[in-house]
Amino acid sequence: MARNVLACFAVVLVTMMMIGGLRSVAAISCGQIAAGLTPCMKYVREGGRTVPTLCCAGLHALVTLATREGELQAACQCMKQLLVTLPGVNWTYVNSIPVKCGISIPCIDVHSFS
């Protein structure tokens, strides 16, 4: 089942890249963001007591790498584009990720992803 979800996600990602739906973010590409978010996919659909460690690590890396003005906002736009294409995303779970990971991502709050 997990392989099917991952394969579906990869197909969607490649398709979006081919049609230009994913734009690169100065130092970070949407492809890199998607790769960093892959460990979050089960959580954004099913939730859980804790967010997977690799999901938090990917978001920590994103915040660390997005240092230039506008990079974090562009990364947030990319995340939104990715998440809205995935079936079964629960926005409450998405919105809980920063708190559970102990990081601040301004674009992930109850107002931006609902």
Per-residue model confidence as pLDDT tens digits over 45-69: 999 999 999 999 988 888 888 777 6
Q: Is residue 56 part of a domain?
A: yes
Q: Is residue 113 part of a domain?
A: no
Q: Is residue 107 part of a domain?
A: no
Please, is 44 exposed, middle or buried when counting C-beta atoms within 10 Å of its C-beta (0-12, 13-18, 19+)? buried
Q: Do 80 and 34 touch, CB atoms closer than 8 A?
A: no
Please give the tally of structural domains in the chain. 1
What are the residues whose beta carbons fall under 8 Å from the beta carbon of 53, sequence distance 6 or more? 39
More confident residue, 86 or 15: 86
- Half-sphere exposure (CA, 13 Å, Cβ side) for 100? 20
Q: Is residue 112 part of a domain?
A: no
More confident residue, 51 or 111: 51
Range of the domain at 47: 2-101
Q: Is residue 110 part of a domain?
A: no
Please, is 102 exposed, middle or buried when counting C-beta atoms within 10 Å of its C-beta (0-12, 13-18, 19+)? exposed
Per-residue model confidence as pLDDT tens digits over 20-47: 344 444 467 888 888 888 999 999 999 9
The confidence band for 86, taking pLDDT boundaries of 50, 70 and 90, is: confident
CATH number, position 68: 1.10.110.10
Structure confidence at residue 109 (pLDDT) = 54
